[in-house]
Structure 1
Amino acid sequence: MQRVTKFFREVVREMKKVSWPKRKELVNYTITVLATVAFFTVFFAVVDLGISELVRLILE
């Protein structure tokens, strides 16, 4: 039990040393991640559609 308490005390101490992003930075990072995910979603959907059509043409 004492080891667990010591562990969590050290975790709290280390978390205080972390440099957390400011609100504006966090919003910018979030927008960047969402835009990247949206781009790759559309990209892979188009690639999938293209490959599907190609396979359909080959098999017919």
Structure 2
Amino acid sequence: MKGSTKFLKDVSTEMKRVSWPKRKELVRYTAVVIATVTFIAIFFAITDLGISTLIRTILN
């Protein structure tokens, strides 16, 4: 019990030291992540479509 109490106290202390991003930074970072994930998803969808079409063409 004593160990878990010390752990939670240490976590609380560390959380006070964290440098949290400002709202503007957070919105910008979120937009960058969403744009990157969207780009990668579209890239892989097009690549998958191209490879599938190529394999279907070869097999027929």
Deviation at 1:13, TM superposition (A): 0.1
1: distance between equivalents of 2:42 and 2:3? Answer: 49
Where 1:58 maps in the other structure, the secondary structure is: helix
Deviation at 1:14, TM superposition (A): 0.6
Question: Does residue 18 of structure 2 align to residue 18 of structure 1?
Answer: yes
Q: How many residues align?
A: 60
For structure 1, which runs of at least 5 residues remain unmatched after alignment?
none
The Cα RMSD (Å) is 0.3
2: distance between equivalents of 1:18 and 1:49? Answer: 44
Deviation at 1:5, TM superposition (A): 0.4
- Deviation >4 Å, runs of 4+: none
TM-score normalised per structure 2: 0.98
For structure 2, which runs of at least 5 residues remain unmatched after alignment?
none
After superposition, what is the alpha-carbon deviation per residue over 1:13-58, rounded to whole angstroms, capped at 9, x for unaligned? 0111010000000000000000000000100000000000000000
